[in-house]
Every structure is written in C-alpha cells, then in structure tokens.
Amino acid sequence: MKICEYCETKTLDDVIQCKSCGSKEFKNICENCGDIFSGTTCPKCRVTIGKKPRICYDCGEETYLEICEHCEADRVNGKQNISIHINTNIRNAQMPYRAKKKSKSALGIISVFIIIAVIITGISHITPVSKNENNAKIQTDLSDMDILTLPGHPKFYGSYKEAKQFWRKYKKVKVINVKETIYGKHEDSLLLITTSDTANGVITKVIINFPKSNELTINDVLKVVCEYIDYDIIEKYYSFNESFHETRVDGGDKGLYYEGFHYVMKLNEEGKAVNKSREAYYQDKFAFKIGHKNNEQWTAEISYMMYKGGHDRFHPKAYNVENWDIDLSKFK
C-alpha cells in the first residue's frame, strides 16, 4: 500500500494518480509495521515493498518476518513450539461418554420454564449494563460524547493492551493494529486507536469522529482531544514548534466549508536521549489536527503525520493561513 503525500488517501501500489486529489506524489506504507517511508525497503523492520505474508506453521498467524512475532517460532528453519501441539492434541481428545439420567418429571420441567420467564421479565426492567473481566459495570446506553470522555481511558503513547481491554465492550470504538487500517475499513468509527507495533504495545494514532453538531466549538473539541494527550510525556520530551489555523479559500471543487487547526511539537534532546538508550521510543514529532467541515462535522487525529497542513502541500494559494494562539496547559 501507499499513501498520497497531499491528502493522505491510502491506495494500492499500482495506482499512479490519487483518486481523491489527483496528485502523483506518494509514500509507501509498510505492510508489516505500518511505517511510512520512501524507497523500497522499510527502514524500521526491513520488509520490502510487495512482500507477501506467510502463515506461521506453529500459531497460524500471518507474519512477514523469519521469526514469527506472535509465537517466536522460526518459520525458516522449522523450529516449532511443540508444547502448543501437545496442548492442541489434549484439547481435541474426546472424553469418555457418560450417560445422563432422563428428566425427572413433567412437573419439574414446567417449574423450570416458569422460573426462567420470571427472570427474563425482571431483567427487562433493569438499566442495560455489562461487566468487563474485572467485574466493573459498563453502562451500554451512553451517548457518543459520554463514550469519548469515559474516565480513565488510555492515552496516546499509552498501553495498547490496556486500550484493547478498556474499549472491548464498546462497538463504536475500534482498537486495532495499523495493518488493519490499510484498507480504511475502520476510519468512520467514533474512536479509532491504533498501534504500529502490537508487540511493544504503544498507541501511536488516535482518530476521533465527533457526532455531527452545529453547537460544538473548537474549545469543546480541543478539551476532548487533550484528554488523550499524556502531558507528562509531551512536556518532558517535546518542545513546541508551531500551531496554525487554515481555511480553504473556495471550498474546493464542491464549494464545501473546511477549516483545520494544527498543533506541532518536536522531539527535544532529552527525548532523543531516551530513544538512544532504548528505554522507550518517541516519534520525532508529536502533532494533532482538528478538522471542521460544513459547520457540523468535527474530526481529530493525533499522529506524527499531522504536522503539515493542506496549504503546505500542493495548493499553497488555496488556503488562508494564520497563527493559532493556543495554550494546551489550560485544557489539562
């Protein structure tokens, strides 16, 4: 896969011209780790363009690497995790058949049905809730904004595994790895949380599609976005670079209203030192973009790719650009 450098539309490798904006400038998307790069080989995991995944003979998962990242089996030299196969055989073994006694009486059966009917009737009057694995109650009739602002949710650079667990009961929220986003199947989710490395488990992208509303303001949206920012990390390892507001002059080909709010920080020397020590890995930029279309649709994305605006790509005269004076510390 590859991605348009102008509008960030994802497309197949054999496409020459972007179907969304007409640009012919693309970068490649690594099918394995999701890194975006120029050239033929991913600098992060060394997988080449066009390489197809193979099924690991040990765990059955797809992998591009010689050593399966899911079970660490060596799929080149044929070294398997034998314990898995032993457990599989035990699990598939049939247990001896044990005859059961027939039902006691018709009266007992009728009594059971009456009890079940009473239980179902009682449940219908209870406010819908479910429980997660930690027996914490999860209300299932929340509004979209309630879901986005649930207390204690994971943040950018937070634990991918914790995010999977936290959001697993909410169908409008997708927590997936970057390979699952290549074909854009989840882009319209209320909340999309992804990672480029499921092994290390760090959240590297957050996309929010706010419910359509004429009443939301930039401050309302920014307050929610900042709930997904780990201030301890950005204030220690990043330095402010720029923030700006852009509006499309003519509304584009369809004459639709659009504006974007961009905020960009760069990795500082302390952050680079952490990367060098391999204690953690922080991307060279921390950035987010808030988009506003047709005066009702707000979207936001936190990602290292969000540091450029549309005016900085291929149509510099199509946008009005001005500084956006914003202090994120006010939204902690």
pLDDT tens-digit profile of 194-209?
A: 887 655 688 999 999 9
Is beta strand 191-195 parallel, antiparallel or unpaired with respect to 319-323? unpaired
CB-based burial, 229-241: b 16+ in 10 Å, e otherwise:
beeebbeebbeee
Tell me: the pLDDT tens digits for 282-298? 999 999 999 998 888 99
Per-residue model confidence (pLDDT) at position 74: 62
In this structure, the dihedral spanned by the alpha carbons of residues 89, 90, 96 and 98, taken in order and rounded to 10 degrees, is: -130
Contacts of 92 (CB under 8 A, 6+ apart): none
Residue 47: phi and psi, rounded to 5, are -80, 135
Per-residue model confidence (pLDDT) at position 227: 97
Q: What 8-state DSSP symbol labels residue 68?
A: -
Residue 38: phi and psi, rounded to 5, are -105, 150
pLDDT in tens, the chain (332 residues): 788 876 677 777 777 777 766 667 788 888 777 778 777 788 877 788 777 777 776 666 777 777 776 666 665 555 544 333 334 333 333 333 333 444 445 566 666 666 666 565 555 444 454 444 444 445 567 999 999 999 999 999 999 999 999 999 999 999 988 766 555 566 678 998 888 765 568 899 999 999 998 899 999 999 999 999 999 999 999 999 999 999 887 765 555 788 999 999 999 999 999 999 988 889 999 999 999 988 889 999 999 888 888 777 656 677 889 999 999 999 98
Instruction: Give CA–CA dist 312/37, Å, rounded.
Output: 19
Per-residue model confidence (pLDDT) at position 258: 85
Per-residue model confidence (pLDDT) at position 292: 93
The residue among 308, 286, 299 whose CA lies nearest residue 258 is 299
**Distance of alpha carbon 275 from its chain centroid, rounded?**
23
pTM of the predicted model as reported, rounded to 2 decimal places: 0.59
Per-residue model confidence (pLDDT) at position 166: 96
Per-residue model confidence (pLDDT) at position 84: 35
Per-residue model confidence (pLDDT) at position 83: 35
In this structure, the dihedral spanned by the alpha carbons of residues 18, 19, 22 and 26, taken in order and rounded to 10 degrees, is: -10
Per-residue model confidence (pLDDT) at position 194: 86
Structure tokens at 177: 């790895």
Q: What is the mean pLDDT of the chain?
A: 77
